[in-house]
Amino acid sequence: MTADGKIADLWRSPARFSSAADKAHLEKQIALVDGVLFGAGTLRAYGTTLPISNPQLLQLRKQQHQLPQPVQIVCSASAEIDPQLPFFSQPVPRWLITTTAGAKAWQGINEGIFERILVASLNLKSIDWIGAFAQLGQLGLKKLAILGGGELVASLLAVDLIDELWLTVCPLILGGAAAPTPVEGAGFSVQQAQRLELLSVERIEQEVFLHYRLQR
């Protein structure tokens, strides 16, 4: 995020403002997990995902009997996702978490683009995250990295499904009341707010890497 707490500009452009060190840090975190989860808005903005390409990280996963790439999981209530996006040509396993209506839209046509479609509906427009995470656990995914955006992160925080938070503060200011932030949604009152414990702080050149744990 920027120094003023924005994760994209007002036009929701892809956030390509962080350094090579931040990208390497992200790749390292992705290499530690079984699955990477992101919202459809994030996929629509970037069109791609970040596969692991660092040979040392790939080797480490092999030694730990993990698949070369974590499963890339898109969440979308509507499932209105363009199958022509470059994401669908990337050499990664792809799953979709959606609602009953969303899953219907992918029946028949475009089959096989997602290896697996998980249905976990709370209602027409929301996903039942407790149910979705239970399904992911049964399918062997024990550790996930949530890559955003703010809407997805807010939903998971609301049902207490996030254990740790990494924030990289980048040296720029974007401003704009409508520009997205790490946590969107309806917001929490000060009384409801999730409290964090700061685990580490590292400065690399002009960026600050913050690592928090959610207090329970």
Ligand X SMILES: NC(=O)c1ccc[n+]([C@@H]2O[C@H](COP(=O)([O-])OP(=O)(O)OC[C@H]3O[C@@H](n4cnc5c(N)ncnc54)[C@H](OP(=O)(O)O)[C@@H]3O)[C@@H](O)[C@H]2O)c1
Contact 153, 162 (CB under 8 A): yes
Both tokens of 136, joined, read 């992911």
d(CA 216, CA 71): 28
Between 58 and 122, name the residue whose CB sits nearer to ligand X.
122
| Nearer to ligand X among residue 54 and residue 78 (C-beta) | 78
CB of 171 to ligand X, least distance (A): 14
* Residue from 51, 43, 50 nearest 76 by CA: 43
CB of 204 to ligand X, least distance (A): 16
User: 31 or 37, CB closer to ligand X?
Assistant: 37
Q: Give the nearest distance from C-beta 6 to ligand X in angstroms.
A: 8
Q: Which is nearer to ligand X, 71 or 183 (CB)?
A: 183
Instruction: Using only the alpha carbons of the chain, give its radius of gyration.
Output: 17
**Minimum distance from residue 7 beta carbon to ligand X (Å):** 4
Task: Give the angle 90-145-162 at the CA atoms, nearest 5°.
Answer: 155
> Which residues contact ligand X (rule: CB under 6 A)?
1, 7-8, 12, 14-15, 38-42, 45, 75-78, 80, 126-127, 147-152, 155, 180, 184
Residues 6+ apart with CB under 8 A from 152: 37, 38, 39, 42, 75, 146
